Amino acid sequence: MLKQIAVRPASGTWVIRAGGAVLGESSRALELTEGDKPLTIFFPREDVAMAFLEPSAYRSTSAALGDAEHYHIASKSHTYANAVFSYLDPKPDAAGIKGYLAFDMQDGVAVEQV
């Protein structure tokens, strides 16, 4: 049985930081909840500095969400492997996140509400 999916506008303004640099800021972010998992914040691509992201060959699949492509974050001091993911053709319950970007919480990568 698939977990309940909900996509809705995230309240307030959200930022992404990696290695101390701000990669993006958005007041148009979306939050996705999947069952009892912690919520995930998704950012519109237009609100993220895509120059810091490098495409990864890694792909993942979620039974509830679909297939995701991944990106590395390249900062001056460190590369954060597969730290970004995006669903280009999500399943119907998650259609709102199509093309948006989400960030894995790794040491040095933070998504915060400001």
Rounded Cα gap, residues 82 and 79, in angstroms: 9
User: To the nearest whole number, what is the mean pLDDT of the chain?
Assistant: 94
pLDDT score of 1 more than 70: no
Report long-range pairs for 62-70 (Cβ below 8 Å, ≥24 apart).
Answer: 63/2, 64/2, 64/3, 64/5, 64/34, 64/91, 64/93, 64/94, 65/5, 65/34, 65/90, 65/91, 65/94, 65/97, 66/90, 66/91, 66/94
Mean pLDDT, range 32-58, rounded to an integer: 95
Percent of the chain with pLDDT over 70: 97
What is the pTM (predicted TM-score) of this model?
0.94
Backbone angles phi, psi at 77, to 5 degrees: -105, -15
Q: How far apart are the first and last CA of the chain?
A: 36
Q: Residue 75's pLDDT band (boundaries 50, 70, 90)? A: confident
Contact criterion met (CB below 8 Å) for 52 and 18: yes
Mean pLDDT, range 51-58, rounded to an integer: 96
**Which of 68, 73, 70 lies closest to 98 in space, CA to CA?**
68
Backbone angles phi, psi at 75, to 5 degrees: -110, 175
Q: What is the pLDDT of residue 83?
A: 96
pLDDT score of 53 more than 90: yes
